[in-house]
Amino acid sequence: MDSMAQQQFIRGLSSISTSHKGCVATIGSFDGVHLGHQAVLAKLAVAAERLNLPSLVMIFEPQPYEFFSREEAPARITRLREKVSLLLAQGVDRVLCLKFDPTLRSFTAKAFVQEILLQKLGIRHLVVGDDFRFGCDRTGDFAYLQHCGQQHGFSVADTQTQLHSQSRISSTRIRQLLQQDELKQANALLGREYAVTGRVIHGKKLGRQLGFPTANIGLGRNRTPVQGVYAVSVCWSGQQEKNAVANVGVRPTVEGGKKPVLEVHILDSNQILYGKCLTVCFKQKLREEQRFDSIELLQAQIKKDIEAAKMWFHQ
Can you give the CATH number for the domain in which 269 is found?
A: 2.40.30.30
- SS3 assignment, position 281: strand
Q: Do 157 and 209 belong to one domain?
A: no
State phi, psi for 60 to the nearest 5 degrees: -130, 150
Q: Do 16 and 76 belong to one domain?
A: yes
Q: Is residue 113 part of a domain?
A: yes
Of the three residues 107, 142, 164, the one that is the final residue of a domain is 164
Facing residues of 279 across strands? Answer: 197, 235
pLDDT of residue 3: 43
Facing residues of 128 across strands? Answer: 158
Q: Is residue 26 part of a domain?
A: yes
Q: Do 121 and 245 belong to one domain?
A: no
* Strand boundaries in the chain, DSSP class E: 8-11, 23-27, 55-61, 94-99, 123-129, 155-159, 163-164, 167-168, 195-201, 215-218, 228-235, 242-249, 261-266, 277-287
Low-confidence ranges of the chain (pLDDT < 50): 1-4
Tens digit of pLDDT for each residue in 102-146? 999 999 999 999 999 999 999 999 998 777 889 887 789 999 999
Q: Do 128 and 206 belong to one domain?
A: no
Rounded Cα distance, 133 and 139, in Å: 7
- Residue 18 sits in which domain range? 8-164
Q: Is residue 300 part of a domain?
A: yes
pLDDT of residue 172: 93
Q: Do 239 and 113 belong to one domain?
A: no
- pTM tops 0.95, yes or no: no
pLDDT of residue 289: 87
Per the CB < 8 A criterion, the answer to whether 90 and 7 are in contact is: no
Q: Is residue 158 part of a domain?
A: yes
Q: Is residue 182 part of a domain?
A: no
Q: Is residue 239 part of a domain?
A: yes
Q: Is residue 19 part of a domain?
A: yes
Q: Please report how many Cα atoms fall inside a 13 Å half-sphere around the Cα of residue 122, on the Cβ side.
A: 10
Tens digit of pLDDT for each residue in 178-222? 999 999 999 999 999 999 999 998 876 665 666 788 899 988 776
Contacts 24+ apart (CB under 8 A), 198-206: 198/79, 198/262, 198/277, 198/278, 198/280, 199/275, 199/276, 199/277, 199/278, 200/273, 200/274, 200/275, 200/276, 200/277, 200/278, 201/274, 202/274, 203/261, 203/263, 204/254, 206/254
Q: Do 22 and 159 belong to one domain?
A: yes
Q: Do 115 and 248 belong to one domain?
A: no
Q: Do 73 and 149 belong to one domain?
A: yes
Q: Do 222 and 299 belong to one domain?
A: yes
pLDDT of residue 4: 41
Q: Is residue 290 part of a domain?
A: yes
pLDDT of residue 77: 95
Q: Do 142 and 199 belong to one domain?
A: no
Q: Do 201 and 144 belong to one domain?
A: no
Question: How many separate domains does the chain show?
Answer: 2
Q: Do 79 and 129 belong to one domain?
A: yes
pLDDT of residue 210: 67
